């Protein structure tokens, strides 16, 4: 079963300033309002409890250099979204994360209104960007209304929801709906050997703002794979 948006009573709220983050984000502290760019340091773990809502207050990135565990349940999803859907938030990124860390996992989690645009790495996955890292598993998640529009296709793909550059995670039993990109409407894979299975793709779109003058733009409505 795929994660769905569920209403959760707000018990309180927690402000998350820019900087390093780790520990456990509890349902009692939800929603977590992220106020700037954050990093899970190498060797540290961030665990997010079922039912938690993570709400970015601006266009900020979360970098995972350690390990992230966001394990919702079939009745209590975790939500990653933006306070302003027009502005959006700026993806969760695994960029050269140390393979010495244990596997990061997203399960029964909802990702919406992640938006990236620009040169590398800001053209790498509206919701999740993975570069040179394999130890990630995504299952029973929903990716909805995420965007990746780039200035240059090089050196990485766009991927409206997820972008993989030399990264080979497992992506399964998830739904990708209404995501937008110039290259891989839902997922873009470059130099990757990801395991992508039992997923549903609907309403994902690619655009070509170059008018056909830039190679690769406007390709792969749902998925795009390339070796270089």
For 117-139, b/e burial (b = at least 16 CB within 10 A) is beebbbbbbbbbbbbebbbbebb
Question: How many C-beta neighbours within 10 Å does residue 44 have?
Answer: 17
Q: pLDDT (tens digit, 9 = 90+) per residue, 140-175?
A: 999 999 999 875 555 556 888 999 988 889 999 999
In angstroms, the CA 143 to CA 203 distance is: 11
CB 44 within 8 A of CB 112: no
**What confidence score (pLDDT) does residue 9 get?**
45
pLDDT in tens, 208-227: 665 443 445 545 556 666 55
Q: Which comes out higher in pLDDT, residue 10 or 25? A: 25
How much is the pTM?
A: 0.89
3-state secondary structure 91-157: CEEEECCCCCCCCEEEECEEEECEEEEECCCCCCCCCEEEECCCCEEEECCEEECCEEEECCCCCCC
- Evaluated on CA atoms 115, 208, 176, 93, the torsion sign reads negative
pLDDT at 190 over 70: yes
The proportion of the chain whose per-residue pLDDT surpasses 70, expressed as a percent, equals 83
pLDDT per residue as tens digits for the range 121-136: 787 899 999 999 999 9
């Amino acid at each position: 079963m795929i994660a769905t948006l569920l209403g959760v009573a707000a018990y309180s709220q927690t402000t998350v300033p820019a900087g390093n983050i780790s520990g456990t984000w509890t349902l009692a502290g939800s929603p977590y309002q992220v106020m700037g760019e954050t990093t899970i340091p190498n060797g540290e773990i961030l665990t997010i409890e079922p039912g938690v809502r993570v709400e970015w207050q601006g266009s900020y990135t979360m970098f995972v250099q350690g390990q992230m565990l966001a394990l919702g349940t079939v009745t209590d999803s975790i939500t990653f979204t933006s306070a302003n859907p027009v502005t959006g938030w700026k993806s969760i990124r695994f960029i050269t994360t140390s393979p010495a860390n244990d596997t990061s996992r997203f399960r029964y989690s909802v990702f919406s209104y992640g938006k990236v645009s620009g040169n590398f790495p800001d053209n790498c996955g509206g919701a999740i960007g993975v570069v040179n890292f394999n130890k990630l598993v995504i299952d029973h998640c929903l990716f909805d209304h995420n965007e990746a529009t780039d200035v240059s296709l090089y050196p990485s793909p766009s991927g409206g929801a997820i972008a993989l550059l030399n990264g080979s995670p497992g992506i399964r039993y998830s739904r990708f709906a209404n995501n937008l990109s110039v290259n891989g409407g839902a997922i873009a894979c470059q130099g990757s050997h990801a395991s992508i299975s039992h997923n549903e793709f609907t309403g994902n779109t690619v655009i070509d703002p170059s008018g056909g003058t830039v190679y690769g733009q406007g390709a792969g409505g749902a998925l795009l794979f390339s070796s270089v």
